[in-house]
């Protein structure tokens, strides 16, 4: 049962620890000032109707000491089997609290995002992936203790109608998302140089509650809930280049969704100016 997995996940001993580069969510830390980051997220799905993919290129900027911004695009074969551009988005993160101690620290940040969808779909899952026009705002708390990073996020999402809305498209209501993440640095055992390859293991719980979603098809408002678990493996080379392999699965809930699982393969490169 999903609640047993969640209890196990939340019970990871606090003596473990890892870097703050989560796969399915994000930490409260921000990029260094003037740093530039390119990231390509790729998601892969298989169900009875065939194979689907979602590509999500991102370009990030360290705008100030505590402020960073991203621009991103979404491309997939969800709306058209041959592939098409689904949407674009911008987001920011502002870190407003930091407390640093020896081998540990705490961070608090606020985030905001706007996504405009060119190819809206009548779906209530994977909201921030380009097929729903929306605005969102969230609060993130992250704590690093030696080699273990733990993080939690609460995110409020409001959809809006873009260029057009197909039958069944969400036009009113809100979502509430929450995430609890942990990452453990498993290698190297002793850190001696930034050139060492870092290997991190991740477990992340991702939840979603629909707060009275309504569609243009006059269907009954949805109050469905969803629970997912994400497991991932991350490699960081020279503190600049990152690759990630991950799997996300449904733990329960009554949300109508396209598929119950997906695979991730992501790459990221950081440039320090």
CA distance 82 to 166: 20
The DSSP H or E segment spanning 95 is strand 84-101
Is the pTM higher than 0.95? The answer reads: no
Domain interval for residue 134:
2-271
pLDDT confidence of residue 90: 97
Query: Does 8 score more than 50 pLDDT?
Result: no
The position carrying tokens 């390119």 is 38
Please choose, from the candidates 68, 141, 139, 62, the residue with its C-alpha nearest in 3D space to the C-alpha of residue 99: 141
Q: How far apart are alpha carbons 134 and 113 in whole angstroms?
A: 8
Confidence of residue 1 (pLDDT cuts 50, 70, 90): very low
- Cα separation, 68 vs 47, whole angstroms: 37
Nearest 5°: phi and psi at 5?
-65, -40
Q: Is 74 in contact with 129 (CB distance < 8 Å)?
A: yes
State the pLDDT confidence band at 222, using cuts at 50, 70 and 90.
confident
**Between residues 138 and 5, the one the model is more confident about:** 138
Assign residue 251 the CATH number of its domain. 2.40.160.40
Average pLDDT of the chain?
A: 86
Phi, psi (deg, nearest 5) at residue 113: -150, 145
Closest CA to 67 of 96, 100, 106: 96
CB 110 within 8 A of CB 94: yes
From 42-46, 124-128, 129-133, 170-174, the region with the lowest mean pLDDT: 124-128
Q: Assess whether pLDDT exceeds 90 at residue 217.
A: no
According to DSSP, the residues that pair with 36 across neighbouring strands are 61, 271
Residue 159 has pLDDT above 80, yes or no: yes
- Which pLDDT tens digit goes with each residue over 171-202? 778 999 999 999 999 988 777 777 789 999 99
Residue 125: pLDDT band with limits 50, 70, 90:
low
Could you tell me what percent of the chain has a pLDDT over 70? 89
Residue with tokens 């390509």: 40
Question: What is Dmax (Cα atoms) for the chain?
Answer: 61
Question: How many independent structural domains does the chain possess?
Answer: 1
Q: What is the pLDDT of residue 50?
A: 87
Q: Which structure tokens are listed for 42?
A: 């790729």
């Amino acid at each position: 049962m999903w609640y047993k997995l969640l209890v196990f996940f939340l019970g990871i001993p606090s003596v473990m620890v890892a870097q703050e580069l989560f796969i399915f969510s994000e930490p409260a830390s921000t990029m260094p000032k003037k740093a530039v980051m390119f990231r390509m997220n790729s998601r892969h799905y298989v169900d009875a109707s065939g194979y689907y993919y979602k590509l999500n290129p991102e370009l990030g900027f360290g705008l100030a000491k505590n402020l960073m911004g991203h621009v991103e695009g979404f491309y997939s074969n969800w709306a058209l089997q041959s592939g098409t551009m689904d949407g674009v988005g911008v987001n920011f993160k502002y870190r407003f609290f930091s407390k640093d101690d020896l081998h540990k620290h705490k961070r608090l940040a606020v985030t905001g995002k706007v996504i405009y969808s060119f190819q809206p779909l009548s779906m209530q899952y994977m909201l921030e992936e380009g097929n729903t026009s929306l605005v969102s705002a969230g609060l993130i708390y992250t704590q690093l203790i030696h080699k273990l990073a733990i993080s939690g996020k609460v995110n409020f999402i409001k959809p809006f109608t873009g260029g057009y809305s197909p039958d069944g498209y969400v036009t009113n209501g809100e979502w509430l998302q929450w995430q609890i993440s942990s990452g453990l640095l498993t290698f190297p055992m002793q850190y001696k140089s930034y050139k060492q390859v870092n290997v991190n293991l991740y477990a992340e719980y991702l939840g979603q509650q629909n707060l009275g979603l309504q569609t243009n098809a006059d269907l009954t408002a949805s109050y469905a809930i969803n629970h997912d678990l994400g497991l991932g493996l991350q490699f960081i080379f020279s503190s600049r280049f990152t690759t990630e392999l991950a799997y996300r699965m449904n733990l329960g809930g009554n949300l109508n969704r396209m598929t119950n699982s997906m695979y991730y393969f992501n790459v990221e490169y950081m440039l320090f100016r």
